[in-house]
């Protein structure tokens, strides 16, 4: 990766959430951010999600999201594990998400007769969202990179990170990890 997306600090992520809360479609936008931040989904994976991917037959939010091969960048199906924090966020979003068919996209677009965001339109959406929130250098990939880096900081092994990210190669995952002073402090304290 030559030019990597910015890894978001907790303060920067909070700033984006605060900005989103003041705007139209706040619940949808928060839901997208939280899904990418707490599960490390790619923008294309997020755009591809349908309501049926998130809720079970009883209407309950799933604890695991199965991404079909056609929903992933590499064409390899995978399971996304839903943390308690993310589960609460998805329950919150689904409580206000009006839909008539579970085949509808999870994250609707404002455009009439639209089937929700495409990967490209969602990438552009995040570009402008971060810009308006005053976060320089952030992109649609920032939440994913932050997800991987934060877990690495907590000591999660690179093989687990690779699996969670849906990478096929450890070197790809390693390139996502932004080494920071907190990681180095924790490392030396292990001695």
pLDDT, tens only, 98-127: 999 999 999 998 876 678 899 999 999 999
For the stretch 118-174, pLDDT in tens is 999 999 999 999 999 999 999 999 999 999 999 998 889 999 999 999 888 888 888
Full 3-state SS string of 61-121: ECCEEEECHHHCCCCCCEEEECCHHHHHHHHHHHHHCCCCCCCCECCCCCCCCCCCCCHHH
Query: Do 67 and 106 form a contact (C-beta atoms < 8 A)?
Result: no
pTM confidence score? 0.89
Higher pLDDT, 147 or 189: 147
Q: Kindly give, in sequence order, each residue whose CB lies less than 8 Å from that of residue 154, ignoring residues fewer than 6 positions away.
A: none
In this prediction, residue 41 carries a pLDDT of 96
User: Which domains, from first to last, does the chain contain?
Assistant: 10-143 (1.10.443.10)
d(CA 116, CA 76): 23
CA 155, CA 67: separation in Å to the nearest integer?
Answer: 26
Rounded Cα gap, residues 7 and 62, in angstroms = 28
pLDDT at 38 over 60: yes
β partners of residue 187: none
In percent, the amount of the chain with pLDDT more than 70 equals 98
Here the tokens at position 48 are: 């591809």
């Amino acid at each position: 990766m030559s030019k990597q997306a910015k890894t978001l600090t907790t303060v920067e992520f909070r700033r984006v959430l605060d900005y989103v809360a003041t705007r139209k479609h706040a619940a949808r936008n928060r839901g997208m951010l939280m899904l990418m931040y707490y599960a490390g989904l790619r923008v294309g994976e997020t755009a591809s999600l349908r309501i049926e991917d998130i809720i079970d037959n009883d209407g309950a939010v799933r604890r695991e999201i199965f991404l079909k091969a056609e929903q992933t960048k590499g064409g390899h199906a995978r399971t996304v594990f839903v943390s308690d924090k993310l589960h609460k966020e998805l329950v919150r979003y689904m409580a206000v998400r009006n839909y008539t068919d579970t085949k509808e996209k999870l994250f609707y677009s404002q455009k009439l007769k639209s089937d929700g965001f495409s990967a490209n339109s969602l990438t552009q959406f995040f570009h402008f969202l971060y810009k308006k929130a005053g976060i320089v250098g952030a992109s649609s990939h920032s939440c994913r990179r932050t997800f991987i880096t934060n877990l690495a900081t907590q000591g999660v092994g690179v093989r687990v990170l690779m699996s969670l990210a849906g990478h096929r190669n450890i070197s790809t995952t390693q390139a996502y990890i932004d080494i920071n002073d907190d990681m180095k402090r924790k490392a030396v304290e292990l001695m």
